[in-house]
Structure 1
Amino acid sequence: MESVPLGRSTLHVSRVGLGCNNFGRRVDRRGTLRVVQAALDAGITFFDTAESYGSGDSERFLGDALGHRRPDVVVATKFGWASDDLPGGSPERVRRTIEGTLARLGTDVVDLYYYHRPDGVTPIAETLGAMQQLVAEGKVRALGLSNVDTALLRDAAATGIEIAAVQNRYSLVHRADDEGVLPLCRELGIGYVPYFPLESGLLTGKYRRGEPSPTGTRLAGGIEETQFDDVERLEAFAAARGRTLLELAVGGLASIDGIASVIAGATTPEQVSANAAADSWRLTPDELAALPR
């Protein structure tokens, strides 16, 4: 598994990462251990979780599963999705949340700490200032922002506080950031980390037009016909080059300038192995330009 720098930070991450949003929800503690072990076996060194996933169980289960391998990997987590008495991005929230996160992960330091979702109230300079203080205290190594637009990202950059990564929704059927956030990340030297790169399994090839969705899958409730149109165009593109849809979904993103790591979620060891193996195709500039849109 290729290891790449994350923005201008000192962190290096595997080209394919593991999204841990299923831990504590669709995957129990024992299942988490199996999935994490499969990821480590596949060479994945980048694990992405959040305080809100599984009401904290994702962090707990991930910390337990990593065990003595914790120093070998980069752990990213997030704060600020939920708020009660305090806005999600308030400095008080930042300081309060990190202690719980460190305890749940069973670690002394978070490698990459994301502001999960801007609260629309707290100035970004105040949030980042509190986050930077955690770096100064040795509780966090690098900072990230998630679910941001270009205006907020420019405001964040204007603070002079180093941002290692931006995590926004992005896939081969959801490319809204092509004209804004992604090129701005390239300009600023910030690593771009797409979430939902497989569109909840839509881009794995397991869903077929006219066939029932597999039982227990996230899209079992139904898929729109226009979504199948997108999938079939991409699948035909991949097949014409002797590749699978999954290889295109992962390798295509990994081939785009500025994208650091493709963090795909998984509920089984087999899914982890398949996602890691899909990172075998690097598209040429001509192939990228020809991708169906």
Structure 2
Amino acid sequence: MRRRQIGELEVSVLGIGGNNFGTNFFGRGCDAGEVDRILRTGLDAGVNLVDTAEEYSITSFLGEGHSEELIGAALGARRDEAVLSTKFLNSDAGNPGERGAARIIAAVEASLGRLRTDRIDLYQQHFPDPDTPVDEVLEALSRLVADGKVREIGWCNAAPEQVHDAAAAVQRSGSRPFRSCQLQYSLLERPADELLAALTRTGTVVLAYFPLASGLLSGKYHRGQPPPADSRLASDALVATILRDGVMSKQPLLSDARLTTVDELAAFAADSGHSLLELALSWVAAQPSVASVLTGVTSPGQVTANAAALDWLLTPDECAAVDAIVAREADGAES
């Protein structure tokens, strides 16, 4: 498995996302035994990046921490083989008055306990905090690095102006910079060029989430055909509504235009001797700003398939041909 750098961390180009570990809001997810099998399969295949968040999965009405607990238990003696990344929220539903640096310190201690570790390799702010100066956030996170509780820091879902503000704060105070930024990044849903340019200027790499565009690039959905009975769109009305309405995408996932694009991408992949899933993951991994492609999985077989998919190293000509297919959809939407 190829490795790339996030600051001093060396991470696999494929990462395992822990958002399906434990019971989620839709009543689905992986139990302890399945998480153990998934992580063992990943580590054996050279996949060392394991990403989660303090709020992933439900353990109570407020719900936080179960994914971290399952990962900590499953890694056990193999902890040092993994690069553990987790995220904190800007507030805690159980203690809404705790914000800023105090919230960060409380959150990291709770995550360390649930993950059964003495350090978090990559600690990330899940969303920029509109109520706390970025200077305060970076100072608190830098203190955690100095104390040895965190090795590198990152954030998620930032906007270009926020990236510039964070870089200015580092210049002012000499604090630790954000080394990574998690963004939705797929063939169909790409970060704005302005954002990618800002991250490149500040030396911040991307961790790409939703690389399969909420499952649309998994190869399950086709134009003119109903969603398969075992798919999320067919089995979960709430998820289906969210995805069909395009809440996380530029347009509804099951629109004719989008499904036509998916079929064209699948045909391109097949002509190259590959699957649509292999094309989707390999294209994201080929982007120069991307350090790792995060994939939410529910079985060891998915880990194996995703790892094998990244054996396809797309050439510049192949990337250009794929981009042309996607551009036709955008051109049609504008006409």
TM-score by length of 2: 0.82
Shift in CA distance, 42/115, structure 1 to aligned 2, threshold 3 Å: same
Q: Which residue of 1 aligns with 2:4?
A: 4
Shift in CA distance, 166/48, structure 1 to aligned 2, threshold 3 Å: same
Q: Which residue of 1 aligns with 2:212?
A: 198
Q: Does 1:253 align with 2:256?
A: no
Once residues 163 and 79 of structure 1 are traced to their aligned partners in structure 2, the CA distance between those partners, rounded to angstroms, is 14
Percent identical: 43
Residues 157-192 of structure 1, C-alpha deviations (whole Å, 9 max, x = no match):
112232211101111110133x12222222222111
Q: How far off is 1:212 after superposition?
A: 3.9
Unaligned 5+ runs, structure 1: none
> 8 Å contact 2:186–2:213 — kept in the other structure?
yes
Q: How far off is 1:289 after superposition?
A: 2.3
Q: Does 1:151 align with 2:161?
A: yes
Compare 192-201 and 96-105 and name the one that shifted more: 192-201
> 8 Å contact 1:91–1:126 — kept in the other structure?
yes
> 8 Å contact 2:185–2:208 — kept in the other structure?
yes
Q: How far off is 1:81 after superposition?
A: 5.7
Once residues 160 and 132 of structure 2 are traced to their aligned partners in structure 1, the CA distance between those partners, rounded to angstroms, is 17
Unaligned 5+ runs, structure 2: 24-28, 58-63, 171-175, 235-239, 245-252, 327-335
> 8 Å contact 1:20–1:47 — kept in the other structure?
yes
Letter in 2 for 1:164: R
Question: Which of 37, 40, 49 does residue 40 from structure 2 map onto?
Answer: 37
Compare 121-130 and 109-118 and name the one that shifted more: 121-130
Once residues 89 and 22 of structure 1 are traced to their aligned partners in structure 2, the CA distance between those partners, rounded to angstroms, is 27
Q: Does 1:46 align with 2:44?
A: no
Q: Which residue of 2 aligns with 1:113?
A: 123
Once residues 188 and 251 of structure 1 are traced to their aligned partners in structure 2, the CA distance between those partners, rounded to angstroms, is 25
Letter in 1 for 2:316: P
Question: Which of 167, 182, 186 does residue 196 from structure 2 map onto?
Answer: 182
Shift in CA distance, 216/100, structure 1 to aligned 2, threshold 3 Å: farther
Highest RCO, 1 vs 2 (Cα 8 Å, sep ≥ 6): 1
Q: How far off is 1:24 after superposition?
A: 1.0
Q: Which residue of 1 aligns with 2:247?
A: none
Once residues 40 and 227 of structure 1 are traced to their aligned partners in structure 2, the CA distance between those partners, rounded to angstroms, is 35
Shift in CA distance, 37/278, structure 1 to aligned 2, threshold 3 Å: same
What root-mean-square deviation, in Å, do the aligned CA atoms of Structure 1 and Structure 2 show? 1.8
Residues 130-166 of structure 1, C-alpha deviations (whole Å, 9 max, x = no match):
1111111111000001010111011111122322111
Letter in 1 for 2:37: R
Q: Which residue of 1 aligns with 2:133?
A: 123
> 8 Å contact 1:87–1:122 — kept in the other structure?
no
Q: Which residue of 1 aligns with 2:177?
A: 162
Q: How far off is 1:120 after superposition?
A: 1.6
> 8 Å contact 1:144–1:164 — kept in the other structure?
yes
Compare 31-40 and 254-263 and name the one that shifted more: 31-40
> 8 Å contact 1:16–1:46 — kept in the other structure?
yes
Q: How far off is 1:119 after superposition?
A: 2.8
Shift in CA distance, 4/78, structure 1 to aligned 2, threshold 3 Å: same
Once residues 89 and 207 of structure 1 are traced to their aligned partners in structure 2, the CA distance between those partners, rounded to angstroms, is 43
Residues 96-147 of structure 1, C-alpha deviations (whole Å, 9 max, x = no match):
1011100000000000000001232111111111111111111100000101
Once residues 142 and 270 of structure 1 are traced to their aligned partners in structure 2, the CA distance between those partners, rounded to angstroms, is 30
Q: Does 1:266 align with 2:297?
A: yes
Letter in 2 for 1:186: T
Q: How far off is 1:89 after superposition?
A: 5.9
Once residues 229 and 123 of structure 2 are traced to their aligned partners in structure 1, the CA distance between those partners, rounded to angstroms, is 35
Shift in CA distance, 97/216, structure 1 to aligned 2, threshold 3 Å: farther
Letter in 2 for 1:3: R
> 8 Å contact 2:91–2:103 — kept in the other structure?
no
TM-score by length of 1: 0.93
Shift in CA distance, 176/191, structure 1 to aligned 2, threshold 3 Å: closer
Once residues 296 and 70 of structure 2 are traced to their aligned partners in structure 1, the CA distance between those partners, rounded to angstroms, is 15
SS at match of 1:260: strand
Q: How far off is 1:241 after superposition?
A: 2.1
SS at match of 1:17: strand
Shift in CA distance, 98/146, structure 1 to aligned 2, threshold 3 Å: same
- Please say which structure displays the higher CA radius of gyration: 2
Residues 175-230 of structure 1, C-alpha deviations (whole Å, 9 max, x = no match):
133x1222222222211111111122221112233444344533333652243123
